[in-house]
Chain A
Amino acid sequence: MDVKKVKRTMKVGPKKDKTLYGLQWVNYGNVGSEALLQEVEAATTLSDSDADLLVKEFARVVIGYVANGHNVDLGVLGTLSPKISAKAVDSEKDCTAQTISSIGVLYRSRQELADDAKAMSITMLSSSSSSATDGGDEGNDNGNDNGGGNNGDGGDLVG
């Protein structure tokens, strides 16, 4: 994985108006369903139409299970589980479905994937050598110490 230095000026907090420097991973591109499909077709005996149907069915089945309250084990990728956000109330009888403000999905990566992530080698890029897109359109982690790839949160590239 390649990373680059970015600088940003803090707007709030004890370090307000200070310029700080951090690292951001470099996104060389997105891998979409087409690329995944081709890779898997090459590794199995499935026909094009079956492989395409499988991608859609895989998503549909996983979404269905999560929406029905199941933990879904995706092997090395980890697990997807439903999660709810609920307001705490004073009495037990007020604790109803109306206190649940949202239903979402919780992702936990498997230890092997986390170990792979930890074992990722990091290569520092200089600004002159960088031909990568500036982060991705995903991945906004919280906090001022964020080093995740995020186009909107990117900051200026530092050579």
Chain B
Amino acid sequence: MAISYVKKKIKLPINGNVEERYVAKIQYTGHVDEDNIAEHISNATTASASEVGMYIRELEYYISRRLAEGYIVRLDHLGTFYPTIHAKAQLSAADVDYRTITRKGVLFRPTSEFKEVLDGASLSLASPKVMKAIDHRKKREQ
């Protein structure tokens, strides 16, 4: 298993000056979706790819519904999905109500098994070319 990375030139503020540095950035191997996963899984079971795909979509919808109800959802070998809220702290209890909630979302925490696999993944340089930093401020102004 290998994860590819590239070298990227960036600009960092250091002691009040903007200086150039180089940092390793991940380069994704590709993109897989439920159909790819379903096909892969159907090879290991007696179910067809379409049935596995239906199962995966049902699993995902069920998890998303439970999250919206405030449940933590734990997949034993993969990790845990949990709902989260961010709320602004107040000086008095009377000021705390739903309007102090600034954000709602979903977070994921991988299992230790998942983390171990990632720790064991090898790293390889994808390209000798150095990627240059993009000045997003200049792009916005244009």
Chain A residues within 8 Å of B, Cβ to Cβ? 1-3, 5, 7, 15, 18, 20-33, 36, 39-40, 43-46, 50-51, 53-78, 80-84, 86-92, 94-97, 99-100, 102-105, 107, 109, 112-114, 116-120, 122, 124, 136, 138-139, 141, 143-149, 158
List chain B residues, Cβ under 8 A from A51.
Answer: 55
Question: How far is it, in angstroms, between the C-alpha of A122 and the C-alpha of B26 when the chains are bound?
Answer: 38
**Told that A31-B66, A69-B4 touch, could you supply 18 new A-B pairs with CB distance under 8 A?**
A15-B89, A21-B96, A22-B88, A46-B47, A59-B114, A62-B78, A69-B2, A69-B30, A71-B30, A77-B64, A84-B24, A99-B23, A99-B24, A104-B115, A113-B64, A145-B102, A148-B85, A148-B86
B59 CB → nearest A CB, Å: 5
Instruction: Write the chain A residue with the least CB distance to B61.
Output: A76
The size bracket of the interface on B is 35 or more
Interface residues of B, Cβ cutoff 8 Å to A: 1-5, 7, 9-10, 12, 21-34, 36-37, 40-41, 44-47, 51-52, 54-64, 66-93, 95-98, 100-102, 104-110, 113-115, 117-121, 123-125, 130
